[in-house]
């Protein structure tokens, strides 16, 4: 059922929701929360579709707020949807003029009572989500750094303004990657001397992955560019060889461990609805995300000299790993050095032997001459 409301109010929208539920034959609400989606006109369809798909696992009331600030008259248009394949309820809100500057005044009366509120910005999000008028309403605030229109994400502002409940889809996309790398070190405990993350240029998930590895392993981490899609490889360098997880096609990854055969792993790129469903499963603060943001700010704040030292340490680590397979050659060099003194001692012995033989021959010749003179004297 779809109800269109023009130049309406929050009270009329609430009455329309109640009427639509009764007409659909379900007066009781079986929803677990409210999803507030802050989006523009161009992408509101995809955002509402993703929220409704996530609602199949978590039935919710979806409020899609399209903000249209301007000098025109203030107004509110709404579209209420119940049924029509929607697991919960969906309301499309278009706020015009000065009303768009205070969207919380429209959204607050429509929130489900005594249930969590999740605020999602599909287009990137504000610099500090917790200070946004709608962000203050949310128990969970979800942004997407990969969708930002800016050249790069201001992680320093995100770290300084972090509040419990903040998260980002760039971080959510790393959940299977982080799980697999942590499991690898649990199954094959070894010392990690360095790491490498390869991804498409400008990928924010690669930045977060590098910061997470550096904060947890305390080793230098290098980022490399690839053609994508997304993150294509993560490698941990160890004395025995690299532990690698590579995914060049965005669907199936190869898991490599030193001394073990390579194994294929299902690691497809997840859809927006799947990412949102994961965030709806966990509403408690993500402390690991907060520590990763802090580590990323520390990395960006390093002076150029410190960055050069870090890069030198990484190259040294890579050189040690490369030289691991050349131990046989390196161990033969000392033996060759020891062989040279042995040859010199043999030569010295040979010279001494020749000298002794010459001396013995000289003594023998002298003795024979002396004996000859004695015989001549007697005769």
Q: What pLDDT is attached to residue 338?
A: 43
Q: What pLDDT is attached to residue 160?
A: 87
Q: What is the pLDDT of residues 99-119, one digit of tens each?
A: 999 999 999 999 998 899 999
- Least Cα distance to 106 among 90, 118, 94, 122 occurs for 94
Cα end-to-end span (Å), the chain: 153
Round to whole Å and give the CA distance between 21 and 63: 16
List the domain boundaries for the chain: 2-169, 175-269+286-324
- Cα–Cα distances in angstroms (integers) from residue 39 to residues 48, 122, 133, 137, in the given order: 10, 6, 14, 16
User: Concatenated DSSP letters for 50-112?
Assistant: HHHHHTTTS-EEEEEEEEE-SSS--EEEEEEEEETTEEEEEEEEEEEGGGGG-THHHHGGGSP
Those residues with Cβ within 8 angstroms of residue 243's Cβ, 6 or more apart along the chain or in another chain: 181, 184, 185, 188, 192, 235, 236, 256, 257, 258
Q: What pLDDT is attached to residue 354?
A: 57
**Residue the block writes with tokens 């790491």:** 195
13 touches 110 (CB < 8 A): yes
Backbone φ, ψ for residue 267 (5° rounding): -145, 60
82 touches 17 (CB < 8 A): yes
Show the low-confidence residues of the chain (pLDDT under 70): 25-29, 149-152, 300-379
Output the pTM of the full model.
Answer: 0.76
Q: What pLDDT is attached to residue 116?
A: 93
Q: Is 33 helix (H, G, I), strand (E, B) or coil?
A: strand
Q: What pLDDT is attached to residue 91?
A: 93
Those residues with Cβ within 8 angstroms of residue 131's Cβ, 6 or more apart along the chain or in another chain: 161
Q: What pLDDT is attached to residue 150?
A: 59
Helix-helix angle 272-281:44-54, to 10 degrees: 50
Q: What pLDDT is attached to residue 369?
A: 53
Q: What pLDDT is attached to residue 366?
A: 57
């Amino acid at each position: 059922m779809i109800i269109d409301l023009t130049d309406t109010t929050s009270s009329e929208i609430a009455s329309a929701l109640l009427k639509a539920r009764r007409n659909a034959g379900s007066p009781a609400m079986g929803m677990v929360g409210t999803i507030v989606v802050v989006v523009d006109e161009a992408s509101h369809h995809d955002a509402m579709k993703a929220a409704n798909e996530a609602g199949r696992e978590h039935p919710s009331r979806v409020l899609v707020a399209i903000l249209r600030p301007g000098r025109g008259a203030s107004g509110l248009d709404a579209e209420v949807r119940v049924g029509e394949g929607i697991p919960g309820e969906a309301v499309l809100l278009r706020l015009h003029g000065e009303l768009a500057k205070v969207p919380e005044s429209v959204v607050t009366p429509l929130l489900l009572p005594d249930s969590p509120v999740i605020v999602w910005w599909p287009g990137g999000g504000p610099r500090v989500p917790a200070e946004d008028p709608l962000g203050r309403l949310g128990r969970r605030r979800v942004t997407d750094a990969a969708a930002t229109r800016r050249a790069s994400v201001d992680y320093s502002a995100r770290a300084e303004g972090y509040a419990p409940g903040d998260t980002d889809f760039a971080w959510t996309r790393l959940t299977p990657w982080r799980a697999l790398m942590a499991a690898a070190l649990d199954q094959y405990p070894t010392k990690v001397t360095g790491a490498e993350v390869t991804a498409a240029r400008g990928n924010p998930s690669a930045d977060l992955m590098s910061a997470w590895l550096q904060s947890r392993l305390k080793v230098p981490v290098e980022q490399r560019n690839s053609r994508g899609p997304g993150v294509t490889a993560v490698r941990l360098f160890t004395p025995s060889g690299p532990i690698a997880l590579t995914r060049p096609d965005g669907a199936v990854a190869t898991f490599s461990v030193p001394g073990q055969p390579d194994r294929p792993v299902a690691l497809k790129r997840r859809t927006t609805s799947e990412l949102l469903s994961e965030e709806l499963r966990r509403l408690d603060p993500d402390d690991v995300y907060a520590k990763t943001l802090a580590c990323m700010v520390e990395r960006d704040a390093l002076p150029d000299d410190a960055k050069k030292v870090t890069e030198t340490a990484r190259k040294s680590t890579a050189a040690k790993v490369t030289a691991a397979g050349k131990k046989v050659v390196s161990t033969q060099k000392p033996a060759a050095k020891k062989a040279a003194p042995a040859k010199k001692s043999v030569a010295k012995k040979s010279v001494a032997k020749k000298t002794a033989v010459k001396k013995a021959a000289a003594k023998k010749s002298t003795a024979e001459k002396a004996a000859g003179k004695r015989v001549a004297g007697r005769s």
